[in-house]
């Protein structure tokens, strides 16, 4: 390939999505027609992801299970990714297109930053992701739904912010916490019961871990801590210092402590921590 | 005046080369060198926002001298090429050599086929990882490409500056030593460059995936200050307003009003 130079009228500007559309016009998936309409064979689906605000920013966490119908497709899939230095994106839904969307989103944010010399605002990033979800709508209509969760540290206001999406690309800012995926409802309820303003880092991580635990307890598609294989959910924080994924050990400790408390309590639920 | 029917190709090339060289020499120079933890790029550039040095990809940086709009167009093309390649294949498949070749082809093409050659000289720097050495590709206005593994000088009066850098150069020197030497080489014996006159960026192995980082004004003052105290005060500092050759309004970002002093 030659040097990608464009005449002024056709220049894609700082948009990476527009750039690859110019270089590969067939890339967007065609809308379903009578000819290609049909049931898509079972593909891996990612399940529960959560995000909640705390004093210094946002905590984001996601389980590791991917399912194909009633089969466990992957046990160690990752669903929480850094979008750029100060934001993170988590995905639920059809795993293949979702991971592809994250890759495009990450490239888009970095591309914009390099071409323009400044990073997008958090609002701008959330909007970009919304457009990508909307462009995915034809595939969502065929059953390959992708619903991301986006959060970041807003350098202008100095606080963490969370955005949720629907399949049409509509995005909504959540006040304090959000969860999506098949176990999202249970996770959200758990966070709702434990959330307080200005939570500390450790408390908010504990709450995110508990939310995933409860989701896995109620939802078969959500994976809990896999103590046998040593696979634990991905937990990350986004603060003024940037995206930071927690060490596996710290997550493992948090889950082990939670499991112990539950066992001592007779193995039944009950929010106490 | 009548148009000549025939001009010898030698003459055409000579005229174009002279034109491009003149344009480049009007701007201020730039030095890139390898140091212990990465690559340092120092440009004389009083503007805070119109950059001569930028990030292309994880381990690749771009620097240009000459006409700002022309090298900036090349920079954006480089970012597009690298991001597209990294997206289609893998991040580790993006390398500076192929990008430098594309730049060389393009500049050569424009030089031979267009009315006006591009008045730019560019540098593509790649940080070596996993035992590979750092690489500096210097591409001239007519598409000549040279690769250096110690330092490169772009712009006007490159020879005198090159001699100064070569004299001071040490293998595996620290960032502050490299910075002081390159700034002194850019300034020459008769003037002193202040942090406000400089645009400095590094590609450093310690920075993780995206190795490119600009050095802020304060950081620069601190790094430069360390040596200035101990160095003999042989040269009188020229005021920042008088520094540099007379700049032309059409050539890069010189003479910008954004000076901090």
Catalytic residues of A: 47
Best residue in A4, A84, A113, A245 for a mutation probing chain B (most B CBs within 10 Å): A4
Q: Is A3 close to B73, i.e. CB distance below 8 A? A: no
Q: Please count the structural domains in chain B.
A: 1
ipTM of the complex: 0.88
What residues of chain A lie within 8 A of the CB of B73, using their CB?
A: 5
Q: How many CB atoms lie within 10 A of CB A80?
A: 25
Question: Any idea what the Cα angle at residue A128 is, between residues A123 and A132, rounded to 5°?
Answer: 145
Give yes or no for residue B61 having a pLDDT over 80. yes
**Cα–Cα nearest to B122, from B76, B169, B184:** B76
- Tokens 């590979």 found at: B132
Q: Residue A264: which pLDDT band, with cuts at 50, 70 and 90?
A: confident
Chain B nearest-CA distance from A111, in A, is 7
Euclidean distance between CA atoms A223 and A62, whole angstroms: 9
CATH number of A45-263: 3.60.20.10
Q: Which residues contact B94 (CB under 8 A, 6 or more apart)?
A: B57, B58, B60, B82, B85, B86
Best residue in B76, B90, B210 for a mutation probing chain A (most A CBs within 10 Å): B76
Euclidean distance between CA atoms B154 and B161, whole angstroms: 9
What residues of chain B lie within 8 A of the CB of A115, using their CB?
A: 76, 79-80
By CB neighbour count within 10 A (0-12 exposed, 13-18 middle, 19+ buried), where does B244 fall? buried
- DSSP letter string, B180-247: HHHHHHHH-TT----GGGEEEEEEEGGG-S--EEEPPHHHHHHHHHHHHHHS---SPPPPGGG-SSPP
Q: For residue B95, give its domain range.
A: 26-228
**Kind and range of the H or E run holding A68:** strand A66-68
Give yes or no for residue B21 having a pLDDT over 90. yes
A14-17 own/partner pairs: CB under 8 Å, 24+ apart: A14/A111, A14/A112, A14/A115, A14/A116, A15/A108, A15/A111, A15/A112, A16/A104, A16/A107, A16/A108, A16/A111, A16/A112, A16/B83, A16/B87, A17/A104, A17/A108, A17/A131, A17/A132, A17/A135
Give yes or no for residue B229 having a pLDDT over 70. no
Count CB pairs under 8 A between chains A and B: 50
Assigned domain for B260 exists? no
Q: Are B146 and B123 in contact (CB under 8 A)?
A: no
Give yes or no for residue A21 having a pLDDT over 60. yes
Tell me if chain B has a CB within 8 Å of the CB of A168: no
Q: Residue B157: which pLDDT band, with cuts at 50, 70 and 90?
A: confident
Whether the CA torsion B218, B223, B224, B230 is positive or negative: it is positive
Euclidean distance between CA atoms B149 and B152, whole angstroms: 8
Mean pLDDT across B33-51: 94
Q: Is B81 close to A5, i.e. CB distance below 8 A? A: no
Euclidean distance between CA atoms B181 and B167, whole angstroms: 9
Question: Any idea what the Cα angle at residue A86 is, between residues A169 and A207, rounded to 5°?
Answer: 80
Q: Are A219 and A47 in contact (CB under 8 A)?
A: yes
Q: Are A237 and A246 in contact (CB under 8 A)?
A: yes
The β-bridge partners of A80 are A90
**Cα–Cα nearest to B30, from B2, B9, B55, B51:** B51
Query: What is the reported pLDDT for B259?
Result: 31
**Cα-Cα-Cα-Cα dihedral of B148, B151, B154, B159, to 10°?**
-100
Chain A nearest-CA distance from B80, in A, is 7
A243 vs B248, higher pLDDT: A243
Give yes or no for residue B35 having a pLDDT over 60. yes
CATH number at residue B129: 3.60.20.10
- The percentage of chain A sitting over the pLDDT mark of 70, rounded to a whole number, equals 90
**Of the listed ranges A186-190, B47-51, B202-206, B241-245, the one predicted with least confidence:** B241-245
Assigned domain for B261 exists? no
Assigned domain for B93 exists? yes
Tell me if chain A has a CB within 8 Å of the CB of B51: yes
Among the partner-chain residues B51, B77, B85, the one whose CB lies closest to the CB of A5 is B77
B241 vs A244, higher pLDDT: A244
User: What ranges do the domains of chain A cover?
Assistant: 45-263
Which B-chain residues 30-49 have CB contacts (< 8 A) with chain A?
49
The chain B residue lying nearest A4, using CA atoms, is B77
Give yes or no for residue B89 having a pLDDT over 60. yes
- At A153, phi and psi to the nearest 5? -100, 120
Query: What is the reported pLDDT for A32?
Result: 56
Query: What is the reported pLDDT for A40?
Result: 67
Chain B nearest-CA distance from A117, in A, is 8
Q: Residue B253: which pLDDT band, with cuts at 50, 70 and 90?
A: very low
Question: pLDDT digits over B99-150, tens only?
Answer: 999 999 999 999 999 989 999 999 999 999 877 889 999 999 999 999 998 9
Angle of helix B96-113 relative to helix B68-88, nearest 10 degrees, comes to: 140
Euclidean distance between CA atoms B19 and B142, whole angstroms: 11
Question: pLDDT digits over A61-79, tens only?
Answer: 999 999 998 899 999 999 9
Question: pLDDT digits over A175-228, tens only?
Answer: 999 999 999 999 999 999 999 999 999 999 999 999 999 999 999 999 999 999
Assigned domain for B244 exists? no
The DSSP letter of residue A50 is E
Q: Residue A33: which pLDDT band, with cuts at 50, 70 and 90?
A: low
């Amino acid at each position: 390939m030659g040097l990608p130079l464009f005449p002024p009228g056709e220049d894609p500007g700082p948009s990476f999505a527009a750039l690859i559309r110019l270089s590969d016009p067939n890339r967007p998936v065609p809308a379903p027609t009578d000819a290609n309409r049909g049931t898509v064979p079972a593909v891996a689906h990612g399940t529960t992801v959560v995000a909640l605000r705390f004093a210094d920013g946002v905590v984001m966490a996601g389980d590791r299970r991917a399912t194909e119908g009633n089969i466990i497709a992957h046990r160690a899939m990752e669903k929480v990714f850094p979008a750029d230095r100060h934001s993170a994106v988590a995905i639920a839904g059809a795993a293949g297109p979702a991971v592809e969307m994250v890759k495009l989103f990450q490239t888009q944010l970095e591309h914009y930053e390099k071409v323009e010399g400044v990073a997008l605002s958090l609002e701008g990033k959330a909007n970009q992701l919304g457009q990508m979800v909307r462009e995915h709508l034809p595939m969502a209509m065929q059953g390959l739904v992708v619903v991301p969760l986006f959060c970041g540290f807003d350098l202008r206001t100095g606080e963490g912010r969370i955005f949720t999406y629907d399949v049409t690309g509509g995005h909504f800012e959540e006040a304090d916490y959000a969860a999506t995926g098949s176990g999202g409802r249970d996770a959200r309820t758990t966070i709702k019961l434990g959330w307080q303003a200005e939570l500390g880092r450790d408390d908010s991580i504990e709450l995110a871990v508990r939310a995933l635990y409860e989701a896995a307890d109620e939802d078969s598609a959500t994976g809990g801590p896999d103590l046998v294989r040593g696979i634990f959910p991905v937990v990350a924080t986004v603060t003024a210092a940037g995206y930071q994924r927690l060490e596996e050990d710290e997550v493992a400790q948090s889950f082990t402590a939670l499991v112990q408390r539950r066992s001592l309590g007779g193995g039944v639920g009950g929010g106490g921590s | 005046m009548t148009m000549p029917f025939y001009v010898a190709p030698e003459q055409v090339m000579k005229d174009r080369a002279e034109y491009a060289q003149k344009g480049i020499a009007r701007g201020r120079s730039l030095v890139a060198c390898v140091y212990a933890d990465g690559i340092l790029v120092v440009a004389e550039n009083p503007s805070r926002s119109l950059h001569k040095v930028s990030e292309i990809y994880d381990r690749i940086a771009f620097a240009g001298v000459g006409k700002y709009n022309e090298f900036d167009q090349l920079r954006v093309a480089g970012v597009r090429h690298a991001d597209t390649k990294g997206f289609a294949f893998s991040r580790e498949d993006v390398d500076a050599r192929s990008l430098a070749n594309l730049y060389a082809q393009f500049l050569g093409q424009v030089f031979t086929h267009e009315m006006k050659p591009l008045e730019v000289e560019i540098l593509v720097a790649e940080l070596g990882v996993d035992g590979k050495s750092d690489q500096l590709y210097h591409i001239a206005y007519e598409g000549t490409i040279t690769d250096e593994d110690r330092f490169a000088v772009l712009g006007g009066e490159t020879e005198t500056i090159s001699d100064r850098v070569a004299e001071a150069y040490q293998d595996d020197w620290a960032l502050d030593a490299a910075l002081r030497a390159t700034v002194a080489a850019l300034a020459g014996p008769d003037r002193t460059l202040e942090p406000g006159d400089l645009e400095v960026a590094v590609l450093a192995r310690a920075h993780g995936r995206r190795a490119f980082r600009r050095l802020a004004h304060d950081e620069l003052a601190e790094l430069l200050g360390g040596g200035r105290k101990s160095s003999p005060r042989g040269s009188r500092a020229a005021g920042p307003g008088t520094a540099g050759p007379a700049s032309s309004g059409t050539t890069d970002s010189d003479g910008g009003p954004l000076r901090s002093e």
